A = this chain, B = another copy of it.
């Protein structure tokens, strides 16, 4: 945004901040694949591997902490590559993920480095998993700090990129109300392949396929019956904590 205006504009940049290694696939895989398919840059920041809280099967198999982290990392890297995104791991420790000034500062660095045009993260409430709100809180705090010229971190300050909260596992229990329905039909196969990289959670493949279809039904219901949408439309739902800025109501 503050770069030399005579240079060609860099591609649009999306920053995804998540608590655990798998979150970006289930909840925002479509948005990521869509942006990548348009030639944009997407960076995923995973604060933890989900090694304690979301790897029950591996623990039952007697794997060690380091082994589990390795498995989760490899799966996440494959899924990110499938979607067309870069991925960065902060290894901050999960269950509980603690919100600290140091980790928030690292996120300020990520904002200044990636100069995002769009930010995706968890919603601020989740009574089933405290790591998700902790990640979201730090993501939002760091976004504000990264805007301040007085905040001592490397890189240029950022603007005020829009933030989207992706859908939690039990939306109604997290105060989640779909405010944006994103049509991901054209990249659906890519999202499905990325989900299939997460071998240990096969039961979720169909669960999130069903969810995408249901959100697609709602998208069609909110768009009118005759827009030429395909019989099966896939969608993801998001919330906006900040107002949309636009030049046209639509």
Q: A: which residues have CB within 8 A of B? A: 1-2, 14, 31, 34-35, 38, 51-53, 55-56, 59-60, 68, 95-96, 98, 101, 104, 117-118, 120, 127-130, 140-141, 144-145, 147-152, 158-162, 164, 170-173, 176-183, 207, 210-211, 213-214, 217-219, 221-227, 237-238, 240-250
Contact = CB atoms under 8 A, between A and B. Distances in A.
B250 A162 contact: yes
Given A52-B152, A56-B150, A95-B148, 14 more contacts: A1-B224, A34-B247, A51-B150, A68-B150, A95-B150, A96-B145, A127-B241, A127-B242, A159-B223, A160-B221, A182-B249, A183-B245, A183-B247, A219-B245
B151 A95 contact: yes
Given A172-B171, A243-B218, A246-B182, A159 B225 contact: yes
Contact of A181 (B55, B180, B243): B243
Nearest to A1: B226
Contacts of A246: 180-183
A97 to B, nearest CB: 11
A160 to B, nearest CB: 4
Contacts of A217: 207
Given A179-B243, A243-B180, A150 B55 contact: yes
A67 to B, nearest CB: 12
Contact of A159 (B56, B140, B145, B227): B227
Given A96-B104, A181-B245, A227-B159, A221 B128 contact: yes
Contacts of A117: 250
Contact of A149 (B38, B59, B104): B59
Contact of A130 (B68, B144, B250): B144
